[in-house]
Amino acid sequence: MKERIERLKKLTYIPQNEIAWLIEQAELAVKQREIIEENKRQQEVTIHQFRQAQKDIQQLSGDRKRYKQALEKIITNLNFAITVAQNELEGDVK
């Protein structure tokens, strides 16, 4: 391609088929630029979504930890209540 462009630069008259080729190359370059820009945009969207997902995971992990701690306290309290109830029942039986 470079050689063809250099040859065309040296010509004083450019044949019609060469002009058609130049136009085709320019159109391809425009399409490639549009594709690159769209890919960059999609990449930015993907990065944003990934970062948001990371934040959501961190938040859910924190929520999970808090829920687990709360549940452990409830279980401890229930075990204590069961022990107290059993002791009271044993005291009533004697």
* CB neighbour class for 8 (10 Å; exposed up to 12, middle 13-18, buried from 19): middle
Q: What are the boundaries of each domain within the chain? A: 2-93
CA distance to 5, 50, 66, per residue, from 63 (Å) = 63, 20, 5
pLDDT at 93 over 70: no
Residues 39-78 have pLDDT tens digits of 999 999 999 999 999 999 999 999 999 999 999 999 999 9
**Rounded Cα gap, residues 33 and 25, in angstroms:** 12
The reported pLDDT for the residue numbered 44 is 98
pLDDT digits (tens, 9 = 90+) for 5-45: 787 777 777 888 888 888 899 999 999 999 999 999 999 99
- 14: CB partners within 8 A, 6+ apart: 8, 22
Radius of gyration for the chain, computed over Cα atoms and rounded to the nearest angstrom: 37
Has residue 1 got a pLDDT over 80? no
Contacts of 62 (CB under 8 A, 6+ apart): none
